[in-house]
Structure formats: C-alpha cells, structure tokens
Amino acid sequence: MTDAPRRTALDALHRALGATMTDFAGWDMPLRYSSERDEHIAVRTRAGLFDLSHMGEITVTGPQAAALLDFALVGNIGGVAVGRARYTMICNAEGGILDDLIVYRLADEEYMVVANASNAQVVLDALTERAAGFDAQVRDDRDAYALLAVQGPESPGILKSLTDADLDGLKYYAGLPGTVAGVPALIARTGYTGEDGFELFVAPADAEKLWHALTEAGADAGLVPCGLSCRDTLRLEAGMPLYGHELTTATTPFDAGLGRVVKFEKEGDFVGREALLAAQERAESTPPRKLVGLIAEGRRVPRAGFAVVADGAVVGEVTSGAPSPTLGKPIAIAYVDAAHAAPGTKGVSVDIRGSHEPYEVVALPFYKRQR
C-alpha cells in the first residue's frame, strides 16, 4: 500500500494517550494503549472504550432498499424490523464470502450496512452494481461517521449516565437514534467482544467530545481505552470469525459453520443462491473441513497459517491464534478435517516452527459470558 494511512477523528487523542498505533486495512489505528492483556481483562470484567471509526458504513435508501438488500445479501433483510439489526454476509455468485456485515434498519426505507474496513470498497462496489434495476440508492457514508464502542459488563451503567435513551428496552442487535452526552448518535447494542456493550455511530466532529464524556463517566467503573489487539483476542475467545482469517472468498458461510445466516426461504433470488445450495448439500454430506477451537497444552502460541497435524499428516490449518487472557493458555481457531474435528479428538497437534505441540479440540466459543 503506497497511500498514507487514513486517520480517524480521534487520532490526536490516541497519540496523546500514548497509544501504539498500527496500520490496519489502510487506517492508522490504536493497537494498544498499555498492556493489551490488561485491556482485555478490563472488557471482560469492567468496561473498555474503542475507536472503531475504520469500519465502513454504507447507507441504502429508497422504496426498494429492502428488496435490493434481500437480493444482494444472503440474509432476510426485509424481515428485519425498524430499530433492529442483523448479522449477515455478502457473497459472490460462487457462494464465496465477500464480507460479513451488520445491517441496521433505521427506517422503513433506510438501512445502514456496516462492512469491515478492509472490504468496505468491495461491498460498496458490489451493492452499487447489484442495485441496478432497483428503486434504491447506495451511498458511501464512510466519512459521515465515527464509531465508538463501549464494551463490558459495566457499559450499560456508564452509558445510562449520559443518555435518556431507553437502554433497558434496547435489546442485543438493536439500534436506536438518541443523544449521548449531548451528541446525536445511533446507539446500537452490538459488539465484537463477547460482552454486553454498545456501538455509537456519531458525526466525526462529535467523536472527541463523546470520547471524553465516556472516559469521565466510566472512570469510577474502571473503563479504559482499548486497542485493536485486545479486540482480536476478545473476539477470538468469543469464537467470532474475522474476515481474512476464518472468512474469505474461498469459503462459503456453510464451510465456516455459519450456514444459518443464509436464508433460502426468503422471497426472490439472491446472489450466490445456487452455489450456496450446493455448498449446504456438501457441508451436510461430505464436509471438507470444520471450524473448531484448539486449546494448547503447552505455552507456545499458534498463529494464522500454521498446520494442524495428526498421525504425522496435515489435517488442517490455523486461521487465528493468540494467548487467551481468560483461559491463561494459547488458543486457536482452525479448519480441521472432519475426521479430527470432533471435540475431544486425541492426537491433534499444531506445527509451531517445526515442533508438534499437542492441542485439545473443543467446540467454539472458548468463552461465553454469564447472562
């Protein structure tokens, strides 16, 4: 990449906080502010504050906004009620995943599609192309929003002190317009950490004011600023896939164990339908590889791309791996041949720089919060 990385509206603030920055999908983002392990634990036990302004917002409006999204995406988007959100995917004609998305229905004829930063242009282009013939408009709103997330068990209390919005009535995967600390915001009860939490879409000009208000309101509850490093270990423990790792154009939702997001029963055709029917059939009859969890018996950490081995043969590949602060052991998500994918399968190892380290096969997720 030759272009200089993009900076979020909170860039100066991150630097003032002493953040270690990293280039992520063309953005200069905070990797961590202090210890990523401490940030991880803060989110699990108290609260963490994230700048996620790199995420790509795309607005779809018009009388046929729902029809367009039902055609362009694999989910039943017309069936999403106003004020609710849906986790879904956009696939190519071959059923390969172009991106995983969260779609918010803001009004009858208005949706906000949130794409991964690395795929925002691909998703924008695909939606624009697929909109041909629909009475709907696709708008690039990447520069219209900054995105702050408050995640962790203390987050409802922290947010409540800054807004009159009905947070108790705001269910998981719902979003409503409101005002937080005097700032107009779309308040969504979503996240990527495995904890309760909120994502706040605001105008970039308001981002710094909101960050300061949240920091102040969360001080007593132990809220800390959190970088992308702990966001990755949090989502990994929660068994949530990351595009480019568990999800790629070479995988279908069924390969990734996420076939439930594909709604064949919805009205009308959609891009990838035929290929996805075949992928579903294949996954049920002869699953090529399954996505599983691996927990280390030792201390060396598996990384994306490392081979999973059994009986001296390669039986899979690690897609994500990290030391788990919650489990206190290295963990990984891996695609593993069905014969070795059952939880409890013996004799499975990961090849870590030539040495076969023993791993336990487990079902995902590694961590589930107590409700």
Start-end of H helices in the chain: 11-16, 36-45, 65-72, 120-130, 155-160, 207-218, 228-237, 273-285
Residue type, 35: S
Q: Is 245 helix (H, G, I), strand (E, B) or coil?
A: coil
Between 299 and 368, whose beta carbon lies closer to another protein? Answer: 299
137 binds another protein (CB under 8 A): no
The window from 32-40, 57-65, 114-122, 241-249 that contacts another protein (CB under 8 A) reads 32-40
DSSP string computed for 298-347: SSPPP-TTPEEEETTEEEEEEEEEEEETTTTEEEEEEEEEGGG-STT-SS
Judged by CB under 8 A, the residue of 59, 155, 229, 251 near another protein is 229
Task: Provide the minimum distance between the beta carbon of 322 and another protein in the complex, in angstroms, as a whole number.
Answer: 6
Q: How many Å apart are CA 359 and CA 367, to the nearest integer?
A: 17
d(CA 198, CA 49): 10
Residues 245 to 274 in contact with another protein, rule: CB under 8 A = none
Q: Establish if 31 lies at the interface with another protein (CB under 8 A).
A: yes
CB of 350 to another protein, least distance (A): 13
User: Quick count: other Cβ atoms within 10 Å of Cβ 362?
Assistant: 16
Q: Does 119 bind another protein (CB under 8 A)?
A: no
Give the residue with the Cβ less far from another protein, 70 or 357.
357
CB of 318 to another protein, least distance (A): 13
Q: Is 323 in the site for another protein (CB under 8 A)?
A: yes
Contacts (CB under 8 A) with another protein, residues 33-62:
35-37
Among residues 74 and 322, whose Cβ is nearest to another protein?
Answer: 322
To the nearest whole angstrom, how small is the minimum distance from the Cβ of residue 154 to another protein?
23
Measured CA to CA, the distance from residue 44 to residue 133 in angstroms comes to 47
Closest C-alpha among 287, 350, 344 to residue 318: 350
322 is an interface residue for another protein by CB under 8 A: yes
**Per-residue x/- track, 5-24, another protein (CB under 8 A):** ---------------x----
| Contacts with 337 (C-beta within 8 Å, 6 or more apart), sequence order | 288, 289, 290, 315, 316
Which residue among 88, 116, 119, 233 contacts another protein (CB under 8 A)? 233
339 CB neighbour count, 10 Å cutoff: 10
> How far is it, in rounded angstroms, from Cα 119 to Cα 90?
11
Kindly tell me which of 116 and 320 has the beta carbon lying closer to another protein. Answer: 320
Residue 195 or 232: the one with the smaller Cβ distance to another protein is: 232
Kindly tell me which of 32 and 130 has the beta carbon lying closer to another protein.
Answer: 32
CB of 244 to another protein, least distance (A): 15
CA distance 286 to 232: 31
Number of residues that bind another protein (CB under 8 A): 16
Strand order in the sheet with 146-151: 175-180, 183-188, 197-202, 146-151, 47-51, 223-225
Q: Using an 8 Å Cβ cutoff, are 149 and 230 in contact?
A: no
**Cβ proximity to another protein, 20 vs 179, nearer residue:** 20
Binding site for another protein (CB under 8 A): 20, 31-32, 35-37, 229, 233, 299-301, 303, 322-323, 330, 353
